[in-house]
């Protein structure tokens, strides 16, 4: 029996609309009209004999059948894109593209890359910093270093470490008239917030039982690096997370406030890459190198040992 597939354009339109939750956004992504998307999806529904979307006045929703079909179609497109990428891009490519957060790149990864280059001078590392989730299917990314993990069976996650959170400030801040001897005194100081991780301050305040402090009342930044640099200048109190702050603490430019008020940061740090690329030599080399660097880092190795007692 010959198996007949639905039209590829119809499948492509459905995948985009299902992923984006909008015919309009799908049309923009595929550079066609919204009516063209609607027509292709109607064609697909006619071929299948099933309704894939519920059309509402200002939005569309997947039906139960549409949700089931979306998983199959999305996986098929991911495999097709990945297969094409592998075909056109040699596994021996000497450029390794890594996505991670800007603060991790600036404060830990970049200063250590020289040792990687000494071991692997034939591999060029290209860094992409972003707060957004990594997209291995549509982005040209080899691997990423991120907080947290997903249940995507097509991705391989390798645990790296589990950091702690605690407030820090410049020594100059302690010499000012306004007291900063106990956590409640934070209410009288400028809080330095990192808005992509705004839950961190709220979590610290909750777990330490500190009340009367608004973590969003001070200055807000897009990265821990900016918040910590502002704290060094004595302009407020920031949260610190290893390995971001080790050098500042060692030099004395920042002080670890309230040493007995330290909490576990939400989420573990992981190195992640497509499971289909586990045998690619440049990915394997970098993974081994990162693992060794963390084990040799006196701060991070302590946090790595906590892995067995901290839930993922």
pLDDT at residue 308 is higher than 70: no
Do 260 and 273 reside in the same domain of the chain?
no
| Domain count of the fold of the chain | 3
Which residues on neighbouring strands pair with residue 128, listed in sequence order?
99
Mean pLDDT of 293-299: 83
Residue 220 lies in a domain: yes
Hey, is 91 helix, strand or coil?
A: coil
CATH number at residue 129: 3.40.190.10
Question: What pLDDT score does 312 carry?
Answer: 32
Average pLDDT, the chain: 87
Write the CB contacts of 247 (distance below 8 Å, at least 6 apart in sequence). Answer: 107
Residue 182 lies in a domain: yes
Do 109 and 131 reside in the same domain of the chain?
yes
Do 107 and 82 reside in the same domain of the chain?
no
| Domain end (from 68, 88, 108) | 88
Question: What pLDDT score does 201 carry?
Answer: 95
Residue 304 lies in a domain: no
Which residues on neighbouring strands pair with residue 168, listed in sequence order?
238, 256
Do 149 and 281 reside in the same domain of the chain?
yes
Mean pLDDT of 8-34: 91
Give the range of the structural domain holding residue 134, as residue numbers without chain letter. 95-157+269-299
Residue 311 lies in a domain: no
CATH number at residue 46: 1.10.10.10
Question: What pLDDT score does 42 carry?
Answer: 92
Q: Is pLDDT larger for residue 86 or for residue 20?
A: 20
Mean pLDDT of 89-104: 80
> How much of the chain, in percent, has pLDDT values that exceed 70?
92
Residue 229 lies in a domain: yes
The separation between the first and the last C-alpha atoms of the chain, rounded to the nearest angstrom, is 47
Taking only the tens place, the pLDDT of each residue in 58-87 is: 788 999 999 999 988 988 888 787 677 666
């Amino acid at each position: 029996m010959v198996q007949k597939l639905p039209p590829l354009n119809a499948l492509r339109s459905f995948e985009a609309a299902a992923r984006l939750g909008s015919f309009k956004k799908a049309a923009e992504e595929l550079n066609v009209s919204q009516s063209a998307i609607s027509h292709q999806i109607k064609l697909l529904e006619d071929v299948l004999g099933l309704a894939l979307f519920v059309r509402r006045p200002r939005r569309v929703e997947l039906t139960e059948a549409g949700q089931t079909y979306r998983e199959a179609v999305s996986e098929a497109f991911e495999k097709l894109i990945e297969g094409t990428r592998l075909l056109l891009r040699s596994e021996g490519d000497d450029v390794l593209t890594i996505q991670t957060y800007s603060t991790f790149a600036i404060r830990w990864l970049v200063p250590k890359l020289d040792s990687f280059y000494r071991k692997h001078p034939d591999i060029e590392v290209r860094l992409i910093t972003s707060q957004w989730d990594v997209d291995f299917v549509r982005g040209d990314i080899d691997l990423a270093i991120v907080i947290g993990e997903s249940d995507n069976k097509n991705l391989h996650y390798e645990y790296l470490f589990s950091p702690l959170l605690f407030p820090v400030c410049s020594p100059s801040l302690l010499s000012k008239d306004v007291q900063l001897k106990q956590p409640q005194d934070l209410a009288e100081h400028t809080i330095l917030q990192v808005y992509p991780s705004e839950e961190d301050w709220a979590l610290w305040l909750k777990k330490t039982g500190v009340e009367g402090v608004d973590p969003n009342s001070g200055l807000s930044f897009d990265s821990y690096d900016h918040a910590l640099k502002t704290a060094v200048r004595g302009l407020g109190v920031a949260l610190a997370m290893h390995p971001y702050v080790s050098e500042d603490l060692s030099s004395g430019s920042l002080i670890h406030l309230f040493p007995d008020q330290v909490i576990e940061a939400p989420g573990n740090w992981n190195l992640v890459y497509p499971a289909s690329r586990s045998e690619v030599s440049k990915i394997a080399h970098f993974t081994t190198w990162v693992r060794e660097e963390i084990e040799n880092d006196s701060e991070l190795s302590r946090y790595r040992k906590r892995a067995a007692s901290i839930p993922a």
